[in-house]
Chains A and B, each alone.
Chain A
Amino acid sequence: MVVMILLIGALYSAPNLYGEDPAIQVSGLRGAQVSEVILDDVLKKLDAAEIPYKKSELADDRILVRLTNEEDQLKAKEAIGDSLGDEYIVALNLAPATPEWLQAFGASPLKLGLDLRGGVHFLMEVDMNEAMNKSYTQMVQDFRADLREEKLRYRGIKREIKLDAVRVEMRNEEDLDEARRFLAKRYPDLVVSDDYNTDEFDVLIRMSEQKIKETRQYAVDQNITIIRNRVNELGVAEPLVQRQGQDRIVVQLPGVQDTARAKEILGATATLEFKMVYQDGDIGAAMRGRVPPKAKLYESAPRGPVLLEKRVRLTGDHIVDAQSSFDEYGMPQVTINLDTKGGNKMSAMTKDNVGNPMAVVFIEYKPTEQKDENGVAKLKKIEDVIQIATIQSRLGRRFSITGIDTSAEAHNLALMLRAGALIAPIQIVEERTVGPSLGQENINAGMTAVLLGFGLVLVFMLFYYKKFGLVANAALAANLVLIIGVMSMIPGATLTLPGIAGIVLTVGMAVDANVLIFERIREELRDKRSPQQAIHHGYDSAFSTIADANITTFIAAVILFAIGTGPVKGFAITLAIGIATSMFTAIVGTRAIVNAVWGGKKIDKLSI
């Protein structure tokens, strides 16, 4: 069994020996998919530019072409990037050069943390106050519209900032009762309080705990979606966008050096516009440059170029929510909720346009390579028609877009609609950028420290315990292999500089178990036991001590992992893994070797 586990450990740590190939990665943007055709195209471009490549593959919706050196990587990016256009993102990547037979086992090399490979780490915070503010404003608007619709006359509806509530004032008790009943029924996720004042005919309405939680959740989720989209556009190979705690988002961009540009892109704004399709125009003529004065030509649209009215009927900041689902016929659809004002506008727009097509335009400002005199990248306005749908009936605050082909498309549309909606503002609260040279230095320093520390301990143990020291050293080496193997196996684990420090520390402490055992054996020998008995008793009586000592340290490591962030977590994970693997190698591993060497023989003297 020991041999099996060691083999598995070695197998999974093996990919770390092979290094990485510089590679070019191509992926689609906004639903565009990479295909065999694109792959052929990319390879042809590389041939034309006389750039040799090792291997190409199409998997996980991305094309990966391995190249021979980093110089070619840049050239290849230019050659491919120019021709593929806006719909595809070309990114530089490092592909692990793990041989196929290892990949077949699912083995992959360790992921390096940002402090080792260089890159940017942002911690962004969603402005929850603002998100809540918007919700309350929305509540006030909705109540007004609803009560008016119900013909309930109110004296005033306003937000009470200090009370975290909306106050609804009615004119008499009867209306107040009616309004309370109505609002409680209409909004099950709001709390209509009982402590209303009968003299003033007013009532306080609050959000339920659930609703507050949802609002916060939504604000963060929405921002994560938007940031993901933006990050994809940055062309970063393996970005990480992840929620952290209540209202924070971690963004990690390995390999990115231009932090200023990254910030701009993350902060770029996207909007949506609803427009009517221009009915009287001639696309052919417009394509030749004769665009009617009231229309605008959009070349990027789902079903070819289209003419839209110039007039914007509705903007995306009226969208409260957009969800993809299925209609009663099981067809994919996207349901959109507008705020009151938006609902009124939509209603006015669709009243006279039943049967006419309406278009949704997605507008984004993206930084370009050009810079203005102050060195700030110029922003380019990019407009895409993302959907054209025929208006079936007069629409209000809540409506659906149907006739979407696939549910993936519906999902994507909902994402885009939300991305264009009004969002809670976000700001960077923590940044850590590590330059590539420092990253490499950290790797080198870390590796030297591991090797030096390892070497010193090996020499010491050999010197002090002779042959048994050799056994302990074998266990220590196996331990190192196992730690790396386990780290490579756990998908989320990344190796950081404090992580390396954790490994170094484990190397120092891992021999402890063997020291405990060996000291016991010596003691037993001093008590005039036979060598075989001494070995047996040594292992047995040291076990509980080793277990206690390691469990307590393990507790410390787990707490570190649970509570700590960033560097602390990296350290905790290697420490915890190290404790587990060292227990195994130092007790089970050495016992196996000892049994193999000294077991079953009559020995007079032990080399310990």
Chain B
Amino acid sequence: MQLLNLDSKVINFMSIRRYSGILSILLVIAALGSFATKGLNWGLDFTGGSLIEVSFEKSADLRKIRSVMDEIGFGDATVQNFGSSKEVLIRLAPQKKSVDEANGEKITSAMIGDVIMEALQEMDSTATKRRIEFVGPSVGDELRDQGGLAMLTALICILIYVALRFEWRFALGSVSALAHDVLITLGLFSVLGIEFDLTVLAAILAVIGYSLNDTIVVSDRIRENFRKLREGSPEEIINISLTQTLNRTMITSITTALVLIALLVVGGELIKGFATALLFGVVIGTYSSIYVASSIALSLGISKEDLMPTVIEKEGEDQDQLMP
């Protein structure tokens, strides 16, 4: 069984590269526009603050919980269901100063979770603590800086590796493809308002890894064909290469998407953001490895001469393979 019958035709991918380029630019602009207007829904990891997840035996009465929160002086908390109606998630922005008014005692930010938990247990004895998280504001800023730094370092290291291994035009093409994927995935998170936390950041970095994987496979084949095929314009050779790798690109995307769907459906609430980011990233990554990376390399004027190996013996090897 095969997805495509490749013997007869070469798909002319590059013929529509103008349109795909416009589409990519539009998507990136849309993503950037969304950052500017809506921004990202930064999770607790980056903003700092407190988060308490509580479960009850019966459906939770959100209104009652809100009034309890009001009573103990945390009226600004957001209270919402999480996963099911029995589970409740309470979020608090970082508190400047917090004083337990009933006792006149000072509560440090780190104690907020315990105080709230106690109040909830008083309200309903079936309340059980599922998770408490507290992130100090300074830690949040650091995590955000670290995350950005990680992303930049990854991109630069990959740029260097690909430039050394292939050619600078490919390197620029694949890193643009990566930046394209990351921006558009972030844009999706911004548009949909999905919370962006540390695990999502990890997912975005995994998207970089995945999309790169795809791009490398395609570039590898383009390089090989430039050396092997004596005839054809760069555009034709790229088309041939993309057609040859299309099967593989699709199958790997399908298997990866399969496991990600499994993760999204049964992996639980905490992993949802992660799975969403990756799933979307895989789709975008597949598209970008075909259109963004290759067409940038093409636009930059990649040619046969650029990819010819300098070592003569290798040339001989290639020819050997041509003549079985």
A binding-site residues for B, Cβ under 8 Å: 115, 123, 125, 257, 259-260, 263, 374-375, 427-435, 437-438, 441-442, 445-446, 448-449, 452-454, 456-457, 460-461, 463-464, 497-498, 501-502, 504-505, 507-509, 511-512, 515-516, 519, 522-523, 526-527, 529, 533, 537, 541, 544-545, 548-553, 555-557, 559-560, 563-568, 571-572, 575
Contacts and interface: CB of A to CB of B under 8 A. Distances in A.
Contacts of B157: 555, 559
Contact of B216 (A502, A548, A572): A548
Contact of A431 (B132, B149, B261): B132
Interface in B191-210: 198-199, 201-202, 205-206, 208-210
Given A523-B244, A551-B161, A556 B267 contact: no
A526 B256 contact: no
Interface in B226-256: 244-245, 247-248, 251-252, 254-256
B262 A533 contact: no
A196 B48 CA distance: 46
A501 B134 contact: no
B270 interface: yes
B139 interface: yes
Shortest 6 CB-CB contacts between residues of A and residues of B: A453-B259, A445-B268, A429-B136, A508-B259, A508-B256, A428-B110
B216 to A, nearest CB: 5
A375 B224 CA distance: 73
B212 A526 contact: no
A268 to B, nearest CB: 15
A446 B132 contact: no
B281 to A, nearest CB: 11
A500 to B, nearest CB: 8
A564 B256 contact: no
B110 A427 contact: yes
Contact of B209 (A434, A437, A544, A575): A575
Contacts of A434: 130-131
Nearest to B244: A523
Interface in B39-63: 53, 55
Interface stretch (B14-22, B25-33, B70-78, B111-119): B111-119
B278 A505 contact: yes
A512 B213 contact: yes
Nearest to A447: B266
Given A552-B162, A556-B208, A571-B199, A435 B259 contact: no
A427 B130 CA distance: 24
B270 A497 contact: yes
A498 B199 contact: yes
Interface residues of B, number: 79
B143 A433 contact: no
A556 B158 contact: yes
22 contacts: A428-B136, A429-B136, A432-B132, A432-B134, A434-B130, A435-B128, A442-B270, A445-B267, A501-B275, A505-B256, A505-B278, A508-B260, A509-B213, A526-B7, A549-B212, A549-B217, A556-B154, A563-B146, A563-B149, A568-B199, A568-B201, A575-B206
A433 B133 contact: yes
Interface SS majority for chain A:
helix
Interface in B99-157: 103, 108, 110-111, 113-114, 118, 128-136, 138-139, 143, 146-147, 149-150, 153-154, 157
Interface string B257-288: 11111110111101100110010000000000
Interface string B77-113: 0000000000000000000000000010000101101
Contact of B110 (A431, A449, A464): A431
B115 to A, nearest CB: 9
A519 B209 CA distance: 22
Nearest to A526: B7
A457 B255 contact: yes
Nearest to B54: A435
A545 B217 contact: yes
A437 B210 contact: no
A438 to B, nearest CB: 4
A266 to B, nearest CB: 11
Interface of B: 1-2, 6-7, 53, 55, 103, 108, 110-111, 113-114, 118, 128-136, 138-139, 143, 146-147, 149-150, 153-154, 157-158, 161-162, 165, 198-199, 201-202, 205-206, 208-210, 212-213, 216-217, 220-221, 224, 244-245, 247-248, 251-252, 254-263, 265-268, 270-271, 274-275, 278, 321, 324
Contact of B324 (A259, A529, A572): A529
Contact of A507 (B132, B252, B259): B259
Given A453-B259, A453-B262, A505-B260, 20 more contacts: A123-B139, A260-B114, A433-B131, A434-B131, A435-B130, A446-B268, A449-B262, A449-B266, A453-B263, A461-B255, A501-B263, A508-B256, A509-B255, A509-B256, A511-B255, A512-B252, A548-B216, A563-B149, A563-B153, A564-B147
B252 A509 contact: yes
A429 B138 contact: yes
B202 A545 contact: no
Contact of B271 (A427, A431, A501, A563): A501
Give the most central of A449, A498, A509: most B CB within 10 Å.
A449
A445 B271 contact: yes
Contact of A428 (B2, B134, B224): B134
A26 B84 CA distance: 41
A556 B212 contact: yes
B129 A435 contact: yes
Nearest to A461: B255
Contacts of A452: 262, 265-266
A515 B271 contact: no
B251 A464 contact: yes
Given A375-B118, A427-B108, A456 B1 contact: no
A432 B259 contact: no
Contacts of B254: 460
Nearest to B247: A519
B216 A533 contact: no
Contact of A456 (B147, B208, B258, B267): B258
Contacts of A550: 213
A85 B291 CA distance: 72
Nearest to A472: B255
Nearest to A120: B132
Given A375-B118, A461-B255, A552 B268 contact: no
B209 A433 contact: no
Contacts of A564: 146-147, 150, 198, 201-202
A509 B211 CA distance: 11
Give the most central of A434, A511, A545: most B CB within 10 Å.
A545
Contacts of A432: 131-134
A464 B133 contact: no
Contact of A515 (B212, B220, B248): B248
